[in-house]
Structure 1
């Protein structure tokens, strides 16, 4: 009797389960080894260097506003359609002095 497609799919599913179980075990062992070394040398995550938090992006201030529609643009990227063929300075938001 030959092996069918369904047999192969069942074997693949079983191997994927075994691979995931092995991965979890290896990660747990690696984590324990890392923690052991850190305890032995009194290291913290900050001591490892190169491990930083992602920089938080600062929002860009709006520079242009269409008072008729309320649409805004920061001045970055492609100009919006409502500005096409118009003088951008007419829509520039004036800072309050």
Structure 2
């Protein structure tokens, strides 16, 4: 019967082999997909991806990032347009007292 240390060594060796096999097979699949995209002229839109989504996916390095909407904090009484208070302020609130626009 194998000792615990021997089994751990075997496990580490198998995990390394699994990662290498996965990398080889993944590269082959990616090459095949690229060839099919080129042959059929498939676009990102047809695949259901936008360039913005792809850059977001790359920046999260494989982690799925879900964006949640922020509730509006300010409202323009004339137009009813709202703003969450994040990002660049809209023209209707620039240089204004924001307390008067609070929802």
TM-score (ref. length: structure 1): 0.54
The two structures, once aligned, show a CA RMSD in angstroms of 2.9
List gaps (5 residues or longer) in structure 2.
57-65, 75-98
* Corresponding position of 1:85: none
Matched, 1:8 2:7: yes
- Structure with bigger gyration radius: 1
TM-score (ref. length: structure 2): 0.51
List gaps (5 residues or longer) in structure 1.
64-92
* Corresponding position of 1:44: 43
* Corresponding position of 1:95: 101
Q: How does 1:37-76 map onto structure 2 within 5 Å?
A: 37-49=36-48, 51=49, 53=53, 57-62=68-73
- The offset of 1:45, in angstroms, is 2.2
Q: Structure 1 runs of 4+ off > 6 angstroms?
A: none
1:56–1:10 CA distance, 2 compared to 1 (3 A): closer
Number of residue pairs the alignment of both structures matches: 66
Matched, 1:21 2:16: no
